[in-house]
Amino acid sequence: MAKTSPAQNRSAARKPSAKASGRPAGLFTWVAIGLVVVVVATLVIIKVTSGPSSSGNGAFVASDPTVVAELTSVPASAFNKVGITSNVVPVTAPVKLAGAPALTGKSATGATLPEVFYLGAEYCPFCAAERWPLIVALSRFGTWSGLGDMESSTLSGEVFQGTPTFTFVKSTYTSKYLVFKSIEQFTNVYDPAASFYTKLQTPTGVEAANFQKYDTSKYIPGMQPTQDHSIPYITVGNKFLVSGSSYTPATLANQSRSSIAAGLSNTSSPVSTAVLATANYLTATFCSLTHNQPGHVCSSPGVMAAKKALGIK
pLDDT of 51 higher than 60: no
Residue 191 lies inside a defined structural domain of this protein = yes
> In this prediction, what percent of the chain has a pLDDT beyond 90?
79
In a domain, 57, yes or no: no
Looking at every residue in the chain, the average pLDDT score rounds to: 85
Query: Angle at Cα 69 formed by Cα 63 and Cα 239, nearest 5°?
Result: 90
Q: Tell whether the model's pLDDT for residue 151 goes beyond 80.
A: yes
- 22: containing domain: 6-50+62-310
Within a domain: 129: yes
At residue 57 the predicted structure's pLDDT band, cuts being 50, 70 and 90, is low
Q: Are strands 112-120 and 179-184 parallel, antiparallel or unpaired?
A: parallel
Is 91 a domain residue? yes
Q: Which residue has the higher pLDDT, 294 or 50?
A: 294
Looking at residue 270, its pLDDT comes to 96
Phi and psi at residue 151, to the nearest 5°: -135, 150
For residue 225, tell me if it sits in a domain.
Answer: yes
Could you tell me if residue 144 is inside a domain?
yes
- Give the residue, 2 or 223, on which the prediction is more confident: 223
Q: What percent of the chain has pLDDT over 70?
A: 82
* Omega of the bond leading into 294 within 30 degrees of 0 (cis): yes
pLDDT at position 6: 47
Residue 313 has a pLDDT of: 87
Q: Would you place residue 53 in the very low, low, confident or very high pLDDT band (cuts 50, 70, 90)?
A: very low
Q: How many CB atoms lie within 10 A of CB 273?
A: 25
Average pLDDT over residues 192-212: 96
* Residue 258, in any domain of the structure: yes
Question: Is 151 domain-assigned?
Answer: yes
**Strand ranges (DSSP E) for 24-130?**
30-33, 36-39, 95-96, 104-106, 112-120
Confidence of residue 39 (pLDDT cuts 50, 70, 90): very low
Residue 20 pLDDT level (bands cut at 50, 70, 90):
very low
- Residue 29 pLDDT greater than 80, yes or no: no
Stretch 73-89: mean pLDDT, rounded?
97
Give the strand pairing for 240-243 and 30-33.
Answer: unpaired
In the predicted structure, residue 45 carries a pLDDT above the cut 90: no
Mean pLDDT of 132-155: 98
User: Looking at residues 156-171, what average pLDDT do you find?
Assistant: 96
- pLDDT of 59 reads 87
pLDDT at 190: 94
Could you give the number of structural domains in the chain? 1
